[in-house]
A and B are shown apart, each in its own frame.
Chain A
Amino acid sequence: MSFITEGFKEALALLLSFDREVYTIIGLSVGLSLTSTLLAAIMGIPFGLYFGLKTFRLKKVLTRLLYTAMSLPPVVVGLLVAILFSRKGPLGSFGLMFTPTAMIIAQVILVTPIIMGIIFNASKEKGRSIYNMGKTLGASRFQVLLLMIAEMRVTILIAIVTGFGRAVSEVGAVMIVGGNIKGHTRVMTTFIAMNNSMGNYGMAIAMGLVLLTISFIVNSILYHFTVGD
């Protein structure tokens, strides 16, 4: 048991020493996750709202596909992106393998269905009522869209926070497409996995604490808005 206590002590010392490598990894992790969540939100929110509102023949099929995509295995996504961007792959000429860009692409594939699925569900439930209200009060299409975003702001926030949580905590896909290269593609989760396999529990716990703190901050923001609502 002592190695756990030692690990925590080491973790605190490491964090308080403002180790450059640790903070580079934290910065890259948060930056990549924010970027991929933003891109996923830009695609997922409008499509989620639209598909939730619209009635069309293949809606049930789309719903099932979307819900399946919400639980895509990260390793499979990582493998798919790696095949696409590997040197011999169809997109190999872009030279994106083992770059932060490839990691963002993998995360966007994982996060977009989550954001779209949450928004889609909410839009299916109350989107029509909001749309009808806006339209019968004389709102233009753009004004109706703004109204829907305003009325579904809490759901949108939940979707974004959930998506960010998935992106920042994901390890399988970023490990495959990023390669865990020090100072280049090493992020918090791959750092924890690597240090765990090397027996450096202090380093792994330190990064685990940072991940938990980020999760706590993000969820506190969400709690503030939902309770305030």
Chain B
Amino acid sequence: MDIELTHLLKKYQNRVVVDIEKAVFKSGQICGIIGANGAGKTTLLKMIAGLEPYERGTICYDGKRLADADHRRITYLSQTPYMMQTSVYNNIAYPLKIRGFIKSQIENAVHAILEELQIEPLSDQLATQLSGGESQKVALARALVFNPEVLLLDEPTASIDQSTIKVIESTIAKRNREQSMTVITISHDLDQIERMCKEIFVMERGKNNVYSRGNHSER
């Protein structure tokens, strides 16, 4: 279930921020997007997530134009995720509650993901009082708990400690390996991109170039 972008154009007032003729994010792969600040990386991810409208072009998922129903299978994690003013447990349970899961299913799923991300002790804490790294782990747990097919990450490990980065990276890699979850991640950490991604998109002023890992290493 590839994500295909065709003739995609996004402007802010009269400034072009994304202008992509053709790009494909392959199903089941971890793809990285790199580029300078203002290159249009975040805007592109938000367009795929359905959070930004665009002037022209199409975004297709599984061969069909992205619709509202598809967005229930795609999730986006921002660099500064919003935490609901309730416990960590309730934050993680939210995507399951709105999907109508029953209490026992929710409990099992939330406890499993808390364990996977090593944040069980945070379960009853107020989510708005967590540190940056803890918030990022909780937000990732919340994004993964409903097993999305596509995970869009906007600098998920910016300004957090190495041990947290390790846990986040290994969790994402495991989901990708075991559930063929497609991942598109933005990062300024080229080492991280190198470790995680099979394919790398370089964006420059809204336009994109695609490099394989080999190409990236040679740059």
Contacts and interface: CB of A to CB of B under 8 A. Distances in A.
Interface of A: 126, 129-130, 132-133, 135-140, 143, 147, 150-151, 229
B98 A133 contact: no
24 contacts: A126-B82, A130-B82, A132-B51, A132-B78, A133-B82, A133-B84, A135-B50, A136-B51, A136-B74, A136-B75, A136-B76, A137-B95, A137-B98, A137-B142, A138-B75, A138-B95, A138-B98, A138-B99, A139-B98, A140-B98, A147-B84, A150-B84, A151-B84, A151-B85
Contacts, number: 45
B81 interface: yes
B10 to A, nearest CB: 14
Q: A-B pairs with the 4 shortest C-beta distances?
A: A138-B72, A129-B82, A136-B76, A133-B82
A191 B125 CA distance: 51
Interface string B64-84: 000000011111111001101
A181 B85 CA distance: 48
Contacts of B61: none
A140 B85 CA distance: 20
A102 to B, nearest CB: 40
> Chain B contact residues (Cβ within 8 angstroms of A): what range?
20 to 34
B96 to A, nearest CB: 10
Contact of B143 (A129, A137, A140, A151): A137
Interface in B123-145: 142-143
B184 interface: no
Contacts of A126: 82
Contacts of B50: 135
B146 interface: yes
B49 interface: yes
B146 A138 contact: yes
Contacts of A140: 98
Interface string B92-113: 0011001100000000000000
A135 B76 CA distance: 9
Nearest to A138: B72
Nearest to A133: B82
A136 B85 contact: no
Nearest to B72: A138
Nearest to B68: A140
B152 to A, nearest CB: 8
Contacts of A143: 98
A152 to B, nearest CB: 9
A229 to B, nearest CB: 7
Given A138-B95, A138-B99, A133 B75 contact: no
Given A132-B78, A133-B81, A133-B82, 15 more contacts: A130-B82, A132-B76, A132-B82, A133-B84, A135-B51, A136-B49, A136-B74, A136-B75, A136-B76, A136-B77, A136-B143, A137-B95, A137-B143, A138-B71, A140-B98
